[in-house]
């Protein structure tokens, strides 16, 4: 059996190779004004929010759940932070920015808790429970921004999504920290084992003494937090909050990233590193579509097609069928010989 | 009776599954105007036979005659067209549609393509009235009525579609006594009208109350066909279990351990019960004692054990574990030193996608909480220790448990619970479906655990096994604890009599 990262890494490498052949300057990275620039850096930078959301989504999906509300939480978190800053006298003061960040993260956690309680406490199916916040959340975000786009002028806030540290975009460090935190929490404590157990066999897990409710609430909390941080990065990058469009369709990209990364929607085993690569594949694909100049009206179709191919390549049964067809077409006689072997 | 011709005759039916002979040479006859009980323990082939008859499975060898004509049943559709209708234990109707819609769905009376609702409701009401003696509001949704009524509606629908042979598969298992009475009245009425009814149940009392004849299967083979009045209960039980009574009497009595009175009281249940699952029972277990539960499938063995572990909530009675007090959830039970190996190893035991190592440490880790994590190194040590002690194969802690054989999965589950060092170990069918070698190993293990002071509640369908390991045996029948025996009272014959009930038969 191949390593679980084999296919995601292969697909990512193929995508990058395609870009290299199409435009040899794709891999070039330049240092300008103490900051690195280049397509690869862009992919990491713009992909940061998606990676974060996908990490949270991975744990939720591992419990056989799903969180459709992450896009809305992204919008709400951005709106909350921008609103707080825009009300301040000195928009750039560290204290105000810190307050804004804390308030919006607290709100994200509260929304995660809401999802968790609906799923684990009330017992609503995850897809329905989180659909509530997916729809209502857009409304909440617009209530916070009063239906306007709130613009802020705060260098300190802007640093989260657009600043740079050690020549790299700051958002990359946020992602690294969250990825490390998620990995440590799930691999160094027993939480990872419980998540996989509950996702794989809820009844057997209960009989083994696992408090599955607490596990479920924890993953939705964490997912909410990840989406909140992603919301901060996105809104800080453009110094504004758009309740209507920020984080739109993020939930779908995130679910896709998780699946491409090798975690099954049936719950159980999960692969955080796979998810990160899955999110990078999606971001690279988006970037590629822009660089090769696909007409905007068919970009979604192209994206859908590539995603379909990626998913098919990942499917073991599809690969086997394909190989069998291919062999029979080329060596019909040989198949006849080996049939009885 | 014998001059009459059977309406349904299954001859020399064989059915194989990969590695298993589910049915070999089974025959079955059903006459018009009779209720015929199909009996057998778990794995005897009852459900396979029914699935063959209803077209869910195809027949490998043998054939079915309906009214002296050979018929081929390839699909449930074929069975229905031949006049064979089935009502399953769980009602297969749409709970959110009305009673009338459920009866006539797909066959509504129409005019010019429009459904005549008035006609539907009228016909449904009169059908229920005439054939089921049931007058209810047929415009209400089905779920507004109790299961018993839903079952009658399902029967009415089945009869209305095609009605020569009616198969009732465990129809009474979720009904209370009054409801069973109501169902039996309907069955008697239909029988009088000439319908042939095939009845599957594991309640012995009901078999004798309603059936005219009994066919017994065991291990996929035909044991015999008997008139119910000519087959004493105890003989029925011995034929189902596969032991001749005469032989049993000659077996030497098992010597019970003498430590039954010595140990202090560990667990005490007083009139613990749950409606529809097990009637209130008393049970006490002492330290170091092995208590066996004997009884047929569905007698309430598992249900009783689940109450003791907190897996189901009792609706009456009390349960005390030592000084510590009540048990309401599995987690509390584990904290107080109870461990429970479910009979449903695949569904409620193993976590498929996890490794042997992870499956073993799961319960201990759960009781230690999220942050007092057992290091991977320690986990591997523990796993290797148990792999060696219990002879688990393959001896690789990182193998996924779903790739193991049943016996090895069972050993991993035992390891999971032994690791928590329980005071009381509840084993529900720990040896079902595993090979003889592993079986003996598990029995030996249980006995050595009890010598070290662990109490064990041992549940098994195999009488021999229960007798061998237990110090004391509680017998359950029809969801009631009917008898408790220990010491010299414990013999296969005594236990079988208690299982059969109804006096000497």
Say how far apart CA B330 and CA B332 lie, in whole Å.
5
Query: Is residue B416 one of the residues assigned to a domain?
Result: no
Nearest by Cα to B85 from B28, B163, B149, B154: B163
pLDDT at residue B36, as a whole number? 93
Q: Which of B188, B221, B246 is the last residue of a domain?
A: B246
Q: Which of B246, B264, B292 is the last residue of a domain?
A: B246
Q: What's the angle, vertex CA B257, arms to CA B254 and CA B258, rounded to 5?
A: 130
Q: Of all residues in chain B, what percent carry a pLDDT higher than 90? A: 5
Which of B311, B348, B365 is the closest to A193 by Cβ?
A: B365
Which range among A92-106, A288-302, B245-259 has the greatest average pLDDT? A92-106
Q: What's the angle, vertex CA B157, arms to CA B155 and CA B162, rounded to 5?
A: 95
What is the least distance, in Å, from the CA of B459 to any CA of chain A? 17
Contact between chains at A190 and B348 (C-beta distance less than 8 A): no
Say how far apart CA B73 and CA B63 lie, in whole Å.
9
Query: Is residue A253 one of the residues assigned to a domain?
Result: yes
**Each residue of B418-437: pLDDT tens digit?**
888 888 899 988 877 666 66
CATH of the domain at A76: 1.10.3470
Contact between chains at A211 and B362 (C-beta distance less than 8 A): no
Q: What is the mean pLDDT of residues B269-274?
A: 86
Query: Is residue A341 one of the residues assigned to a domain?
Result: no
Nearest by Cα to B135 from B143, B87, B145, B177: B145
Can you say whether the dihedral through the CA atoms of B211, B216, B220, B222 is positive or negative? Answer: negative
Which range of residues forms the domain containing residue B216? 8-246
pLDDT at residue B255, as a whole number? 43
* Number of cross-chain residue pairs from A and B with Cβ atoms under 8 Å apart: 79
User: Does A156 have pLDDT greater than 70?
Assistant: yes
B13 CB-contact burial (10 Å; exposed 0-12 / middle 13-18 / buried 19+): buried
Give the CA radius of gyration of chain A: 22
Tally of CA atoms within 13 A in the half-sphere of B199 that contains its CB: 31
pLDDT at residue B502, as a whole number? 62
Nearest by Cα to A162 from A245, A45, A77: A45
Query: Is residue B302 one of the residues assigned to a domain?
Result: yes
In this structure, the answer to whether residues B58 and B164 fall within a common structural domain is yes
Q: Of all residues in chain B, what percent carry a pLDDT higher than 70? A: 90
Phi, psi for B298 (deg, rounded to 5): 80, 10
B-chain residue closest to A203, CA distance? B348
pLDDT at residue A186, as a whole number? 87
What is the least distance, in Å, from the CA of B224 to any CA of chain A? 39
Q: Residue A338 — pLDDT band, cuts 50, 70, 90?
A: very low
Q: Calculate the alpha carbon distances from A202 to A58, A262, B306 in Å.
A: 17, 21, 17
Nearest by Cα to B400 from B328, B352, B331: B352
pLDDT at residue B262, as a whole number? 57
DSSP string, B81-108: HHTEEEE-SS--S-TTSBHHHHHHTT--
Query: Is residue A298 one of the residues assigned to a domain?
Result: no
Q: What is the mean pLDDT of residues A273-294?
A: 87
Q: Which of B230, B246, B262 is the last residue of a domain?
A: B246
**Each residue of A236-253: pLDDT tens digit?**
888 888 878 888 888 888
pLDDT at residue B435, as a whole number? 62
In this structure, the answer to whether residues B234 and B258 fall within a common structural domain is no
Query: Is residue A303 one of the residues assigned to a domain?
Result: no
pLDDT at residue A336, as a whole number? 45
Contact between chains at A211 and B366 (C-beta distance less than 8 A): yes
Q: What is the mean pLDDT of residues B171-183?
A: 77
In this structure, the answer to whether residues B198 and B118 fall within a common structural domain is yes
Q: Residue A55 — pLDDT band, cuts 50, 70, 90?
A: very high
B504 CB-contact burial (10 Å; exposed 0-12 / middle 13-18 / buried 19+): exposed
Q: Residue B19 — pLDDT band, cuts 50, 70, 90?
A: low
pLDDT at residue B388, as a whole number? 83
Say how far apart CA A211 and CA A315 lie, in whole Å.
33
Nearest by Cα to A200 from B178, B409, B355: B355
Which range of residues forms the domain containing residue A227? 6-293
Poorest-pLDDT segment among B179-188, B347-356, B371-380, B400-409: B400-409
Q: What is the mean pLDDT of residues A324-329?
A: 73
Helices A250-260 and A39-62: crossing angle in degrees, nearest 10, is 80
In this structure, the answer to whether residues B183 and B276 fall within a common structural domain is no
Q: What is the mean pLDDT of chain B?
A: 82
pLDDT at residue B90, as a whole number? 67
Say how far apart CA B480 and CA B498 lie, in whole Å.
11
Structural domain count of chain B: 2
B-chain residue closest to A185, CA distance? B371
Which of A188, A196, A209 is the closest to B354 by Cβ?
A: A196
First to last CA, chain B: 23
Q: Residue B258 — pLDDT band, cuts 50, 70, 90?
A: very low
Q: Of all residues in chain A, what percent carry a pLDDT higher than 90? A: 28
pLDDT at residue B243, as a whole number? 62
pLDDT at residue A331, as a whole number? 54
Structural domain count of chain A: 1
Instruction: Tell me A315's DSSP state.
Output: -
pLDDT at residue A337, as a whole number? 46
Q: What is the mean pLDDT of residues B316-341?
A: 81
Which of A190, A201, A211 is the closest to B351 by Cβ?
A: A201
In this structure, the answer to whether residues B110 and B236 fall within a common structural domain is yes
B240-261 burial, b if ≥16 CB within 10 A, otherwise e? bbebebeebeeeeeeebbebbe
User: Does B173 have pLDDT greater than 90?
Assistant: no
ipTM, two decimals: 0.75
In this structure, the answer to whether residues B111 and B260 fall within a common structural domain is no
Contact between chains at A207 and B342 (C-beta distance less than 8 A): yes
Query: Is residue A308 one of the residues assigned to a domain?
Result: no
| Of A290 and A284, more confident | A284
**Each residue of B203-230: pLDDT tens digit?**
778 888 889 999 998 878 898 899 988 8
A-chain residue closest to B335, CA distance? A209
Neighbours of B46 (CB within 10 A): 21
Give the CA radius of gyration of chain B: 25
CATH of the domain at B489: 3.40.50.300
In this structure, the answer to whether residues B263 and B194 fall within a common structural domain is no
In this structure, the answer to whether residues B242 and B271 fall within a common structural domain is no
Q: Residue A180 — pLDDT band, cuts 50, 70, 90?
A: very high
Q: Residue B249 — pLDDT band, cuts 50, 70, 90?
A: very low
Alpha helix stretches (DSSP H) within chain A: 6-22, 39-62, 70-87, 94-116, 126-144, 155-162, 170-188, 191-200, 202-207, 212-238, 250-260, 272-291, 299-314, 316-330, 332-338
Distance of CA A176 to the CA centre of its chain: 13
Poorest-pLDDT segment among B29-33, B395-399, B433-437: B433-437
**Each residue of A33-44: pLDDT tens digit?**
777 777 788 888
In this structure, the answer to whether residues B122 and B81 fall within a common structural domain is yes
Nearest by Cα to A47 from A188, A219, A234, A317: A234
pLDDT at residue A280, as a whole number? 92
| Of A324 and A84, more confident | A84
Query: Is residue B418 one of the residues assigned to a domain?
Result: no
**Each residue of A263-272: pLDDT tens digit?**
888 888 899 9
User: Does B251 have pLDDT greater than 50?
Assistant: no
Q: What is the mean pLDDT of residues B64-91?
A: 83
In this structure, the answer to whether residues B255 and B223 fall within a common structural domain is no
Q: What is the mean pLDDT of residues A58-85?
A: 91
Q: Calculate the alpha carbon distances from A262 to A49, A105, A245, A283, B423 in Å.
A: 20, 29, 29, 17, 42
Query: Is residue B306 one of the residues assigned to a domain?
Result: yes
DSSP string, A65-96: ---TTHHHHHHHHHHHHHHHHHHSSSTT-HHH
Say how far apart CA B60 and CA B472 lie, in whole Å.
45
The residue among A204, A205, A215, A271 with the most chain B CBs within 10 A of its CB, best to mutate, is A204
Nearest by Cα to B364 from B342, B321, B334, B344: B334
Query: Is residue A332 one of the residues assigned to a domain?
Result: no
In this structure, the answer to whether residues B138 and B256 fall within a common structural domain is no
Query: Is residue B142 one of the residues assigned to a domain?
Result: yes
Give residues with Cβ within 8 angstroms of B476, minimum separation 6.
Answer: B293, B294, B295, B299, B300, B301, B304, B482
In this structure, the answer to whether residues B46 and B71 fall within a common structural domain is yes
B259 close to B250: Cβ distance less than 8 angstroms? no
B349 close to B413: Cβ distance less than 8 angstroms? yes
């Amino acid at each position: 059996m191949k390593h679980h990262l084999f296919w995601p890494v292969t697909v990512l490498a193929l995508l990058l190779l395609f870009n290299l052949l199409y435009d040899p300057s794709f891999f070039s990275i330049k240092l300008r004004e103490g900051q690195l620039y280049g397509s690869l850096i862009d992919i990491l930078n713009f992909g940061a929010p998606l990676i974060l959301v996908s990490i949270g989504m991975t744990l939720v999906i591992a419990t056989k759940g799903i969180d459709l509300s992450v896009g809305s939480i992204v919008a709400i978190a951005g709106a909350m932070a921008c609103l707080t800053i825009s009300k301040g006298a000195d928009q750039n003061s560290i204290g105000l920015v810190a307050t804004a960040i804390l308030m919006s993260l607290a709100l994200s956690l509260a929304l995660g808790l809401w999802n968790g309680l609906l799923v684990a406490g009330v017992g609503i199916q995850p897809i329905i429970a989180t659909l509530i916040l997916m729809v209502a959340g857009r409304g909440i975000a617009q209530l916070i921004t009063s239906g306007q786009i709130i613009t802020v002028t705060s260098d300190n806030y802007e640093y989260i999504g657009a600043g740079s540290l050690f020549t790299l975009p700051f958002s990359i460090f946020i992602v690294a920290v969250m990825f490390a935190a998620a990995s440590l929490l799930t691999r160094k404590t027993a939480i990872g084992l419980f998540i996989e157990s509950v996702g794989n066999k809820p009844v057997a897990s209960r009989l083994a003494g696992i408090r599955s409710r607490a596990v479920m609430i924890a993953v939705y909390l964490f997912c909410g937090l990840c989406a909140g941080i992603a919301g901060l990065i996105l809104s800080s990058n453009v110094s504004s909050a758009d309740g209507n469009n920020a984080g739109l369709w993020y939930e779908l990209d995130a679910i896709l990233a998780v699946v491409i990364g090798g975690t099954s929607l049936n719950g159980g085993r999960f692969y955080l590193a796979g998810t990160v690569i899955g999110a990078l594949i999606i971001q690279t694909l988006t970037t590629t579509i822009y660089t090769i100049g696909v007409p905007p009206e068919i970009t979604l179709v192209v994206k859908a097609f590539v995603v379909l191919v990626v998913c098919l390549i990942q499917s073991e049964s599809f690969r086997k069928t394909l190989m069998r067809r291919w062999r029979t077409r080329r060596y019909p006689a040989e198949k006849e010989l080996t049939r009885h072997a | 009776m014998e001059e009459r011709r059977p309406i349904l005759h299954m001859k020399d039916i064989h059915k194989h599954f990969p590695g298993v002979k589910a049915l070999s040479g089974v025959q079955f006859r059903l006459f018009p105007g009779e209720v015929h009980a199909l009996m057998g323990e778990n794995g005897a082939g009852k459900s396979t036979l029914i699935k063959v008859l209803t077209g869910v499975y195809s027949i490998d060898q043998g054939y079915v005659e309906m009214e002296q004509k050979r018929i081929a049943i390839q699909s449930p559709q074929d069975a229905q067209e031949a006049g064979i209708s089935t009502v399953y234990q769980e009602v297969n109707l749409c709970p959110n549609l009305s009673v009338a819609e459920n009866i006539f769905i797909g066959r509504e009376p129409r005019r010019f393509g429009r459904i005549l609702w008035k006609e539907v409701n009228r016909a449904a009401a009169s059908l229920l009235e005439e054939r089921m003696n049931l007058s209810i509001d047929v415009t209400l949704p089905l779920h507004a009525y109790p299961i018993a009524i839903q079952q009658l509606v399902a029967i009415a629908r089945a009869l209305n579609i095609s009605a020569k042979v009616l198969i009732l598969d465990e129809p009474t298992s979720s009904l209370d006594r009054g409801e069973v009475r109501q169902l039996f009245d309907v069955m008697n009425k239909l029988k009088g009208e000439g319908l042939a009814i095939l009845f599957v149940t594991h309640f012995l009392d009901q078999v004798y109350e309603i059936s005219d004849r009994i066919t017994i299967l065991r291990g996929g083979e035909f044991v015999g066909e008997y008139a119910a009045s000519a087959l004493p209960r105890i003989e029925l039980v011995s034929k189902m279990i596969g032991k001749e009574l005469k032989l049993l009497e000659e077996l030497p009595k098992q010597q019970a351990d003498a430590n039954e009175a010595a140990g202090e009281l560990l667990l005490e249940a007083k009139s613990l019960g749950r409606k529809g699952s097990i009637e209130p029972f008393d049970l006490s277990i002492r330290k170091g004692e092995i208590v066996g539960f004997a009884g047929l499938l569905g007698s309430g063995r598992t249900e009783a054990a689940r109450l003791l572990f907190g897996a189901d909530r009792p609706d009456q009675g009390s349960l005390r574990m030592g000084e510590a007090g009540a048990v309401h959830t599995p987690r509390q039970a584990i904290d107080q030193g109870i461990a429970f190996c479910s009979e449903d190893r695949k569904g409620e035991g193993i976590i498929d996608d996890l490794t042997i190592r992870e499956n073993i440490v799961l319960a201990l880790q759960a009781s230690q909480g999220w942050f007092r994590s057992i290091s991977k190194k320690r986990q591997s040590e523990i796993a290797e220790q148990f792999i060696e002690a219990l002879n688990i194969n393959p001896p690789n802690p990182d193998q996924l448990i779903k790739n193991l054989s049943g016996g090895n999965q069972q050993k991993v589950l035992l390891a999971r619970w032994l690791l928590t060092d329980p005071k009381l170990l509840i084993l529900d069918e720990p040896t079902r479906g595993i090979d003889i070698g592993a079986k003996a190993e598990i029995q030996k293990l249980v006995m050595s655990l009890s010598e070290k002071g662990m109490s064990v509640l041992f549940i098994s369908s195999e009488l021999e096994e229960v007798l061998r390991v237990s110090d004391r045996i509680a017998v359950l029948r029809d969801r009631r604890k009917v008898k408790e025996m220990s010491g010299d009272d414990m013999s296969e014959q005594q236990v079988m009599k208690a299982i059969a009930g109804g006096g000497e038969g």
